[in-house]
Structure 1
Amino acid sequence: MNLPEAFKEKMKSLMGESYEGLLDSYDQPESKGIRTNTLKLTPEDLARKLPFETQSVAWCPDGFYIDHEVRPGKNPYYYAGLYYVQEPTAMAAVEVLAPEPGDWVLDLCAAPGGKSTQIGAKLKGQGILVSNELVNSRAGILSTSIERMGMTNVIVTNEFPERLVDSFYQSFDKILVDAPCSGEGMFRKDPGALSDWSLERVSRCVGKQEKILESAHRLLKPGGVLVYSTCTFSPEENEQIIEAFMNQYPYELESIELPGIKDHGRVAWTLNNEKAIEKTLRIMPMNVKGEGHFIAKLIKTDASSDSKNVKQGYSKSRLKKASRTELIDYVDFAKNYLAESFYKEFEDRLYLLGEHLYAIPKGIDLETIANLKLLRTGLHLGTFKKNRFEPSYALGMALKLSEAKNVCDLKEESEAYQYLKGEALNINAKKGWILVGYDGYSLGFGKASEGIIKNHYPKGLRIRKK
C-alpha cells in the first residue's frame, strides 16, 4: 500500500520497533464481519442459517468474522434484518458502553448505523436511543439501517451536536461519541481515508472532536458513562484529546478490558504524562485481526461545573397527538391484520406527522424536541391515504410473523429474491394486506388479490440481482 510519507515518518517516530509490524499489516486483506441482530435471533441460530463459514469475534458475543470473498449484503437474511455487516473491531466500542434495557442512550455521530443498531439490540426495545447524524445523506442511510433491524424505540436526528443540548440537557445515561477522525485505521478498508489524509486533516479533526465532546458533556447525566472512540492511530485525536478533556471537565477514566485485545493507551503519547491513559484501549491491526481503533470510557463525576443556557421560544412541533377520528382507518387496519398484543402496546403513543403515523417512544416530551430536525421519531407505522391506511416498511420489519394475522412465509430463496426485486408473487392468499417473510422472518408487506400478492417492498431498497 502506498502510504503518505508524512504518515510513515510520524508513526515510525512514535512506534519504534513496532512500526514494521504496523506497516506489514496494511498489506494484509481487510477483515470482514457481521453482527447478529439479537432482537430477531441468537448468534447460534444465525450461524446455523448462514450459507457461509463464520468465526466468532472474541470481544463481541454477537459478532462473526467472515471470509473477505463473501458478499453478505446479497443474502435474503440480510434483508430480513438478521445481521448487520460490520468490521469486527468496530463492534468493540458498544461492548464497552454496555447499554442496558431502560437506558437513555445517545449515539452522537451515528451514521451509517452499525453502532446504533448494536445499541438498539442491547436495549431490547426498552428505554430510548437517540441516533444523531449531521450529514443529511448519511442520516438517511442511518434511518434505513434502523428500520431494517426492526427497532421501535429510536429517534433519528439530523443536527449539530450543540443543537441537541436544549432538548436533552443532562438527559442521557450513556453517550457514544464515535468521533469523525483522520481514519488512519481504515486505510486498507477505505481508499478515501487514505487519499484524504494529511497532517492538516488531523488538526481539523481535533477541533471537531473538541466541540463534539463539549456537547456530549452537557448532554450526559452526572454519574453517566461517556465512551469516546476513533478509528485512527493519531495521539492528537486519542490520548491527547482525552487528556485535555479530563483537565477541563469532571470525569474519571474507567479501565477497559475486552477479550482478545491487549493494547492500551500510551502514556508516552500524552502531553503531560497522564498515567490514567493506560485505562484506555488501543486496537492495533498487527496484534488483532481487524482494523485500528481507540476507545476511552469516562464516568461523569460532577455537574456543578456546567449550567444550561435555556433557549427561549421552541418552535411548534409538527407532530401532534392523533385523535380517535383521525385513527379510524389505522384502527381498522390494526384489528384486521395485527395481533392485539402488538398494537395495544402503542395505542397511547400514536402521533401524526402530516399523513404519517408514528408510535413515539415512552418518555419523550414533544415540546422539548420540537426545534430539532427529526428524521424518525420511534416506529413509523404507516401513511393515511384516501379512505385507507397503508402500512410502512418499518412496521413490517418490526413485526414478527406471529404478530400478523395474514402471513406468506416464503421457503425458497428464489421466491425471496423475487419479492426483494419488487416483483409480484403468484401465490393464493387471503385478500388484503400480507406480511411477507422468508424462513420465519419478515421482509415487508404485500397486498393479496385474485391469486397474486402485489409487492409493497420500498422501491429504493429493491435489489437488481442476487
Structure 2
Amino acid sequence: MELPKDFKEKMQNLLNDEYDDFLSSYNENKKQGLRVNTLKISVDQFKNISPFELEKIPWVSEGFFYKEKDKPGKHPYHEAGLYYIQEPSAMAVGEIISPNPGEKVLDLCAAPGGKTTHIASKMNQEGLIVANEIHPSRAKILSQNVERMGIKNVIVTNETPENLSKKFENYFDKILVDAPCSGEGMFRKNPEACSEWSLKNVCLCKERQLDILKCASSMLKVGGRLVYSTCTFSPEENEQVISEFVKENTNFEIEKISAYHGFDKGRKDWTKEGVEGIENTIRIWPHKIAGEGHYIASLRKIDGEDSKTRKILKTITDKKVLKDYLEFEKEFLVSRIDGNYILFGEELYSIPKDMVSLDGMKIVRPGLHIGTIKKNRFEPSHALALYLNKLDVKYSYNIDKDSQQIIDYLKGHALKINGQKGWYLVEVDGYSIGWGKLSGDTLKNHYPKGLRWI
C-alpha cells in the first residue's frame, strides 16, 4: 500500500521511535471480526454451533476474530442475524458507552449499524435507541442491519444533527458521536480512504466534528454520557476536538475510561489548550493491538437545563383498524407483540413506549415493522420474522445450515413440506430467518427479493 507522503511525514513527527513499527503494520493483513448478537443467541451457544475458526477479541465479551477463508458474510447464520461483522477496534466503543436497559440512547452518525446493534444487544429490547444517518442510502442500509439483528426498540432517522437537536433537547441518557473523519485508521481496511486523504480534509473534518458535538451536547440530559469516537489518528480530529469542546462547554468533563492492555492514553501534548483529562481518553493503534486505528473519549454532562415535557406520539387505539392484523396474530402467533401500534400508510409498526411525536422528521424506520395491512388481509414483514422465535409462533419449519434446502430458501425457491396451511416461521438450526406460507404441500417463499442469494 502506498501511503500519502504528507501522512507519513505527519505520523513520523508524531510517533518518533514508534514510527517504524507503525509503518510495518501496513504490511500485515487486516484483522477480521464478528460480534455475536446476544439478542438471539448466547456467546457460549454460538461457540458450540459456529462453523468458523474463532479467536476471542480480548476487549469485548461478544467479539471474535475470524479467518478470511471462513467468509461469514455468506452464511445462513449471517442472514439469521446471529452475528454482526465488525472491525475489532470499533467494538470497543459499544463497551465504553455501556448502555443500560430502559435508557434513551442516540447514535448520531450510525450507518452502517455496527455500533447501533452493539448498543441494542446490551439494552435487551428495553428503552429507546434513535439511530440517525444523514445520507439516505446509508440510512436504508442501517435500517436493514437493525432489522436483520431482530431489534425492536430502534428508530432510524435520516436527519441533520441540527434538526434532531430541535426535537430532542436535553432528552437522551447516552449519546454516541462516531464522527465522520479522515479515516486514517481504516487505510489498511479501506484503500479508498487512503486515496481521498489530505491535510486539508483533516481540517475540514475537525470543523464538522465540532459542529456535530455542539448539536449532540444539547440533546444530552444532565448527568448523561457522551461518547465521541473516530477511526483516525490525527490529533486535530481527536484530542484537539475534545479539548476545544470541553474548553467551550464547561458543563462537560472528561471521564476516565478503563483501557484494555495495549490501548494507549490520549496525548495532552498533542493539544493546544492543554485541557485536563485528555489523558483519560484512549487511542487504539494497529501496531499495538490486533485491530485498526481508533480514538475514543467519554464526556459527562455535569450541569444544564432539565428535560422538558414533550408531545407523545399517538398510537392506534381503534381495534377495527387492526382487524386484519389481530386475526393474523390470533391464528398464527402464540406471543403478542406489544401494542404500541402506528400506521405509516399500509405499514404497521410497533414503537417504543412513550415515544415523542415524530412530526416533521424524516423517518426510515419508526420501530419494529410488523407487516402490511392490505385490503382484507395482513402480510407479516421480514423484520417480524427475524424478531420472533419458534416459541412465539404456532407453525415453524426448521432447516439444517448445511442442507441444499436452506440454499434453495435463500435463493427464493418454494419448498415441498407437509403441515397445516398458513404462515410458517422458517428457521435455520432453530433460529428464525424468514417467512413461508404453506398451501397444499408447497411452502411459498416470502424471503425478500432484495436479499435473495444469486
* Short-chain TM bin: over 0.9
Tell me by how many angstroms 1:211 deviates: 0.9
Structure 1 residue ranges, 4+ long, deviating more than 6 angstroms after superposition: none
Pairing 1:139-218 to 2, within 5 Å after superposition? 139-218=139-218
The CA deviation string for residues 270-327 of structure 1, in whole angstroms up to 9 with x for no partner, is 11333411000000000000000000011001115x999x99xx9x98x862621111
Cα displacement (A) at 1:387: 1.1
- Cα distance, 1:132 vs structure 2: 0.2
Cα separation, 2, equivalents of 1:115 and 1:429: 41
Q: For each residue in 1:147-176, what CA deviation from the matched residue of structure 2 results, as whole angstroms up to 9, or x when unmatched?
A: 000000110000001111222111100000
Work out the number of aligned pairs and report it: 452
* 2:277 counterpart of 1:276: yes
Paired position in structure 1 for 2:135: 135
Does residue 444 of structure 2 align to residue 449 of structure 1?
Answer: no
| 1:4-15 mapped onto 2 (5 Å cutoff) | 4-15=4-15
Mapped to 2, the partners of 1:384 and 1:22 lie a distance apart of 57
Shift of 1:262: 3.0
- The answer to whether 1:352 aligns with 2:343 is yes
| Distance in 1 between residues matched to 2:147 and 2:444, nearest whole Å | 21
The alignment partner of 1:321 has SS state of coil
Alignment of 1:5-44 (within 5 A): 5-44=5-44
* Per-residue CA distance 1:363-417 (angstroms, 9 max, x = gap): 2032xx2111011111110001221000000000000111011101112532222
Separation of aligned partners in 2, 1:236 and 1:66: 33
Instruction: Please name the residue that 2:428 is paired with.
Output: 438
2: CA distance between counterparts of 1:295 and 1:142? 22
Q: What is the match of residue 288 of structure 2?
A: 287
Question: Distance between the aligned counterparts of 2:448 and 2:102, measured in 1?
Answer: 32
Work out the CA distance in 2 between the residues paired with 1:261 and 1:246: 26
Matches within 5 A, 1:225-240: 225-240=225-240
Aligned counterpart, 2:370: 381
Deviation, 1:18, is: 0.8
- CA–CA distance in structure 1, aligned partners of residues 214 and 44 of structure 2: 41
Instruction: Determine if the alignment matches structure 1 residue 120 to structure 2 residue 120.
Output: yes
Q: Which residue of the partner structure matches residue 110 of structure 1?
A: 110
Structure 1 Cα separation of the partners of residues 307 and 411 of structure 2: 53
- Partner SS for 2:27: coil
Q: Which residue pairs with 1:342 in the alignment?
A: 336
Q: 2:220 aligns to what?
A: 220
> Which residue of structure 1 aligns with residue 396 of structure 2?
407
Match of 2:356 in 1: 365
Distance in 1 of aligned mates of 2:20 and 2:211? 35
Q: AA paired with 2:435?
A: F
**CA offsets 1:397-445 (integer angstroms, 9 cap, x no match):** 0001110111011125322221111111111221011110110100011
Q: Which amino acid is 1:104 matched to?
A: K
Aligned-partner residue type, residue 246 of structure 1? V
Once the two structures are superposed, what CA deviation does each residue of 1:80-128 show, in whole Å capped at 9, x if it has no partner? 1100000110100110000010110000000000000000111101100
Residues 322, 351 of structure 1: 8 Å contact kept: no
Report SS of the residue matched to 1:60: coil
CA shift digits 1:47-105 (9 cap, x unpaired): 22111110111110000001133211111111111000001101001100000101100
What residue identity is the alignment partner of 1:324?
K
Which residue number corresponds to residue 428 of structure 1?
418
User: 2:406 aligned with 1:416, yes or no?
Assistant: yes
8 Å Cα contact 2:170/2:307 also seen in 1: no
Other structure's SS at 1:84 match: strand
2:325 aligns with 330
Question: What code does the residue aligned with 1:363 have?
Answer: D
Structure 2 match to 1:303: 304
Bigger Cα displacement from structure 2, 413-422 vs 438-447: 413-422
Q: Which 5+ residue runs of structure 2 have no aligned equivalent?
A: none
CA contact (8 A) 2:109 2:179 kept: yes
Normalised by the length of structure 1, the TM-score is 0.94
Q: Secondary structure at the match of 1:228?
A: strand
Matches within 5 A, 1:51-130: 51-130=51-130
Name the CA distance, whole Å, in 2 between partners of 1:322 and 1:201. 51
Deviation readout 1:321-378 (Å, 9 max, x if unpaired): 2621111110000011111x333xx12x111111011111012032xx2111011111
Answering whether residue 316 of structure 2 is matched by residue 321 of structure 1, we say yes
Identity of aligned residues (%): 50
Secondary structure of the residue that 2:342 maps to in structure 1? strand
- What is the match of residue 260 of structure 2? 259
Cα RMSD for the two superposed structures: 1.8
**What stretches of structure 1 of length at least 5 have no aligned partner?**
none
* In structure 2, C-alpha distance between the alignment counterparts of 1:412 and 1:110, rounded to whole Å: 31
